[in-house]
Each structure stands twice: as structure tokens, then as C-alpha cells.
Chain A
């Protein structure tokens, strides 16, 4: 029951906005978002808990629709440092990651 992420890849110019979506077919406790740069480990960005609580990065926001088991990550005024692969991880009995969304920011 791997979550489905979309889009698979995004190319933006610096300063533009992006939305990455994640959907699951299972009832979820939480949704996690991580960013991984090439050759590095995934780094935590945000967690959205059932019931509406959120914890995470100051400059990145996200939403979690519990009824639809869908989450979206909003990257506004993107910076070069935002480049990387974004993974959503959906948690029911364990955390399962989607296939990732590759984000490339052009100067």
C-alpha cells in the first residue's frame, strides 16, 4: 500500500511555487515529508498528525485531508537549496514511503 506521489518531477525557476501531492488508500495516523539531496540521507521536513496537529519546517507548509487520506506539501518562493527528491511517508502500522518527487530549481 505504497502512497502515490505526484508529480514525479518538477522543474522550477527560483522564486516560483510548487505543490507536491501524496495519497494513500489506507487510514493513516500521520503523514511525514522528507527531502533527500543526492548522495545524502533523507531529512525530516514536516509531520501532519491525525487531528490536525503539525510539526515541522518554518518555510514549508503542508495539509492533510484525513477523510481522503491525502496530503500536499507547499513550497513557496522556492530557493536553490530546495532542490532534491521529496518523499512522503504515510503511517498506519508502519511508515511507508512514496516513490518520491524530484524537484530541480533553476537560478
Chain B
């Protein structure tokens, strides 16, 4: 069983479209994250949820909206896609929250290409 799974693994879409990425973890962790890795390999945190509560919301355009229906799932919806949104989006989870996070377990990533 994959600990942190993301779908889809690849998305290719046109500018202006809307897309969603889903993430599920079966580790029983309380905290989940979205990280964006751009073409220069910089891993930047976007959002974090702890038990369905948003605890980290970085300076991310409003076109990005995370949703956590329960503590095992964290989805990312992106509206009006732009070229600069092309990146690999990683979902991650950890046992703890800020300050006592423990190791991050990453999903395999979802590569988004906006044409």
C-alpha cells in the first residue's frame, strides 16, 4: 500500500482551465501539506492542514484552493491556470504539526504542464 498517494500523476492542460489534484494518506497522520517544485527544483510550501484545519497558507494566488474533507485527504483545486503554474506538486504528511512535525512523507508528485 502506498503511504501517500496522489492523482493524477500527470496533467497537461490549456491556459485558463481549472484542474484538481487529489491526495490521500493511510499513515494515520494528522497533518498534510502541498508543496510546489518548480523547474529550478525549489520546493516551496503552499498549504498545510492539521485535522482538517488550515494552519499554513503561504502567499499563494487565490486561484489555488485547498480542501481537506477529512484528515486523510487533502485536495488542491486550481482555477484559471497560467503558464507559471507548471510545476510538480507534492503532497506530504507528517505525524505532528508545527514545531514537532517529525519526518515528512511525500507522495510521488503530480506534474502539471500548462500550455
- Enumerate chain A interface residues (CB-CB to B < 8 A): 29-30, 32, 34, 36, 40-44, 47, 55, 85, 87, 89, 91, 93-97, 99-100
Contact = CB atoms under 8 A, between A and B. Distances in A.
A43 B101 contact: no
A40 B108 CA distance: 6
Interface of B: 35, 40-45, 48, 56, 90, 98-109
A3 to B, nearest CB: 11
B48 A44 contact: no
A41 B98 contact: no
Nearest to B42: A99
A91 B104 contact: no
Please list the 3 inter-chain residue pairs (A to B) with the smallest Cβ-Cβ separation, ordered nearest first.
A41-B106, A44-B103, A97-B43
A55 B103 CA distance: 9
